Amino acid sequence: MEKILSLTGSFINVALVVAGGALGLLLKKGLPERVSDAVMKGLGLCVLYIGIDGCLEGQNALVTVISMAVGTIFGSAVDLDKHLNNFAKKIETKLSRKSDGKSDFAQGFVAATLLFCVGAMAIVGSLDSGISGDYSTLATKSVIDGVSSIVMASTMGYGVLISSIPIFLYQGSITLLAGVVAPFLNDYTVAEMTCVGSLLIIAIALNMLNITKIKVMNSLPAVFLPVLLCRFM
Measured CA to CA, the distance from residue 215 to residue 206 in angstroms comes to 11
Mean pLDDT of the region 175-203: 92
Whether the predicted model's global pTM rises above the 0.85 cut? no
> Which residue, among 174, 112, 120, 169, has the nearest Cα to 145 in the 3D structure?
112
Q: Which helix (H) or strand (E) holds 18?
A: helix 8-29
> Which residue, among 17, 199, 229, 213, has the nearest Cα to 112 in the 3D structure?
17
Cβ neighbours of residue 121 closer than 8 Å, sequence gap 6 or more: 137, 138, 140, 141
- Quote the pLDDT of residue 100: 45
179-184 contacts, C-beta under 8 A, 24 or more apart: 179/130, 179/131, 181/127, 182/127, 182/131, 184/227, 184/231
> Which residue, among 223, 222, 199, has the nearest Cα to 48 in the 3D structure?
199
Q: Which helix (H) or strand (E) holds 229?
A: helix 226-229
Whether the predicted pLDDT of 85 surpasses 90: no
Measured CA to CA, the distance from residue 39 to residue 43 in angstroms comes to 6
Q: What's the full length of the chain, in residues? A: 233
On whether the CB atoms of residues 105 and 157 are closer than 8 A, the answer is yes
- Quote the pLDDT of residue 190: 93
Tens digit of each residue's pLDDT (9 = 90 or more) over 138-162: 999 999 999 999 989 988 888 899 9
Whether the predicted pLDDT of 98 surpasses 60: no
What is the residue extent of each domain of the chain?
Answer: 2-229
User: How many other CB atoms sit within 10 Å of the CB of residue 71?
Assistant: 21
Phi/psi at 4 (5° precision): -65, -40
Helix (H, G, I), strand (E, B) or coil at 48: helix
Tens digit of each residue's pLDDT (9 = 90 or more) over 162-177: 999 999 999 999 999 9
- Quote the pLDDT of residue 222: 95
